[in-house]
Structure formats: structure tokens, C-alpha cells
Structure 1
Amino acid sequence: MLVVAVLRLWADFISSPRQADPLWQNGLSAARVDPDGAMAFDTLFRIVVSSVRRPLDIHRPHCQMLGRDELRLLDMVCLAQHGFHDEAGVLMADWMPPAAVRMALPPLRLFACAMDRAGLHVPMRAAASSPPAPVHASADRGAGLVH
């Protein structure tokens, strides 16, 4: 839940930077994820947004459904936490070209390690067991919120 909430709040903050305080950082801090983990998350998604090939299925902060790309992120964090970095890169390749994937893998690994140090583990195959929600296309690229 934390990873999805942080992603949604990050996307909301990026799409409306008029907020003075990036709320997405508060959840990570409350969960005792170190500041390096928060910076890695921010770096990861700045790379994603700058190089994404298609709109990402990221829902609004209070939506009860999971988007396909939210599930994909859970799988990537899980794989990175279990040392399957190449496999996480394969999932990431659905979002970005190979050069961007190579740039995004180190911050993904750093974020996954920071979550691990905080005692937060995404169970293996947990995200894959949830049925994906329907994708709602958007005219925007990147981390636009769909609903």
C-alpha cells in the first residue's frame, strides 16, 4: 500500500506543483524509509516521466483500484528486493527504451533496499496475484493521474 500511495502522491505533486510540501515524502518518512530511499524514488520516476513511451496507468490518491502500472511497480520493487534486477529491468522496459532502463535500475535498487532496511517487503508474486484494472488512456505522457 505504501508504494502505491507514494507513487500516486508523487504523480499528484508533479502534475500540480503548486503544493508547498511534497506529501509523498511524508509517507516514506513515517514508514522509516531513509531520505536516500525517498531521493531514489524521486529520481526513478523523474527518469520514467522523461522517457516513458506511453501514458502510465496511475490512479488518483484515493482511488480504490490498482492501475496496471502500479502493479508493475510493485512487481519491480519486489524483484529488486529479492535480487532479481534483470527481471525488474525487463518489466521496466515496457515503460521506457533500454538506455532509460539502464539509468532507472540503480535508483530502483536503492529504493528497494531502503524499503528493505525499513522492514518493508513486497512479497514475491503479491502484485501479480491481483487482477489488473482496465487502462484508461490519456493524452498526456508520463505520470498523469487517470482517475
Structure 2
Amino acid sequence: MNFHSSSSVAHSLLDDPSASRADEAEQTVLNAVRTWLRPRCDALGRNGSWRDVLSEAGMSVDGMLYFDLLMRFLRRCAYRRLDTRCRCASDLAKDEASLLQTIALLQRVRGDAAIELLNDWLPESAVSGVLKIVRWFAIALLDAGLVIQVRSRCVTYMH
């Protein structure tokens, strides 16, 4: 057996969605996504509004429009139902990690890497439209002072 760490391959949070806890900016996006998809949280016993989540974080009206458009596109275009958690969950679902990573990449003007992520998640015909909307939302997040981190970690492979 040969153990080594490959530094030439980019490893990401997507390898293990529960590997890390969300920071404040990521948690804001997660809360908005989870509230958009499930406005009622049975565990918390209350209703919620994704608009309130984003507004409290300083998001502009345009940013909230981009977010709503993004969520509508994702719900309609994804190969399958979106994998998300309840608002009270602390771990990340794979689709949540993919969305956060896509936003982070676009905030750093790494469009090619973001396209690769979207290609693994969405039909080819939807990628261009979703990419534009995610880019607008990513910029609106930056304008609100919410920077999403590109999460990566080293993975040791055995062969």
C-alpha cells in the first residue's frame, strides 16, 4: 500500500458535507435556503420568512429577488429533489454544500470551477441560467458584507 496526499487535486467540502460547521455568512445562506424550502420548522415550533433572514443580514431588495429566482430555478431544474436539512440542523446536506461552494467560487471569480460543480448537480441546459443567477446572488452577498469561504481539505488516498 502506498499512502500519499495529492496536492494537485482540489478537494472540497463536498467530499464530506458534515466535515465542518458553517460560519456566520454560510449560516445566513443556509437559513435562507432552508426557510425558503420549509417555512415551518416543527422542531422550533414556528414559521419563518427567508426574506427576514436575508434582510436582517443586510441583503438588498435586488439580492432577495436574485435569491428567490435562484431557489425557483433550483427547485424546477435539479435532477432530483434538493437535499437540504431543517433549519434546526447543524450539519450540511450535499446540495447545501454544493450551493455554498458555488457561491464562494463565484465570489472569487472562479467561474470554471463553479460551472463544474453545477454540471454535477443540474442538467446541462439549466447550468447557464442558474450560473447567472447564482453570480448575481453572490455579488449581492458581497455587497451585504457576507463572504462565503471556499472550503477545502486534504484527503489522503490509498492505492
> Do these two structures clear the TM 0.5 threshold for a shared fold by scoring above it?
yes
- Equivalent-residue separation in structure 2 for 1:37 and 1:66 (angstroms): 23
Aligned to 2:115: 89
> How do residues 58-77 of structure 1 correspond to structure 2 at under 5 angstroms?
58-77=84-103
Residue 105 (structure 2) aligns with: 79
Larger radius of gyration: 2
Q: 1:36 aligns with which of 40, 43, 62?
A: 62
C-alpha contact 1:89 1:101 (8 A) present in aligned 2: yes
Using the alignment, how far apart are the partners of 1:25 and 1:93 within structure 2?
Answer: 28
Q: How much does 1:22 deviate?
A: 6.5
Question: Structure 1 residue runs of 4+, over 2 Å off?
Answer: none
Aligned length: 121
Long gaps (5+) in structure 1: 15-20, 130-147
1:2 offset after TM fit, Å? Answer: 0.5
Superposition RMSD in Å: 1.8
Indicate conservation of the 8 Å contact 2:34/2:87, yes or no: yes
Whole-Å separation in 2 of the counterparts to 1:94 and 1:48: 13
- Which residue of structure 2 lines up, in the alignment, with residue 48 of structure 1? 74
1:1-147 mapped onto 2 (5 Å cutoff): 1-13=27-39, 23-125=49-151, 128-129=152-153
Which letter does structure 2 place at the counterpart of 1:124? V
Q: Which amino acid aligns with 2:126?
A: A
Task: Answer whether contact 2:107 2:147 (CA < 8 A) is retained.
Answer: yes
Distance in 1, matches of 2:38 and 2:118, equals 21
Q: CA deviation at 1:93?
A: 1.8
CA distance, structure 2, for counterparts of residue 36 and residue 100 of structure 1: 22
When the two structures are superposed, what TM-score results if normalisation uses the length of structure 2? 0.70
After superposing the two structures, state which structure 1 stretch, 106-115 or 84-93, moved more. Answer: 84-93
Distance 2:129 2:61 in 1: 20
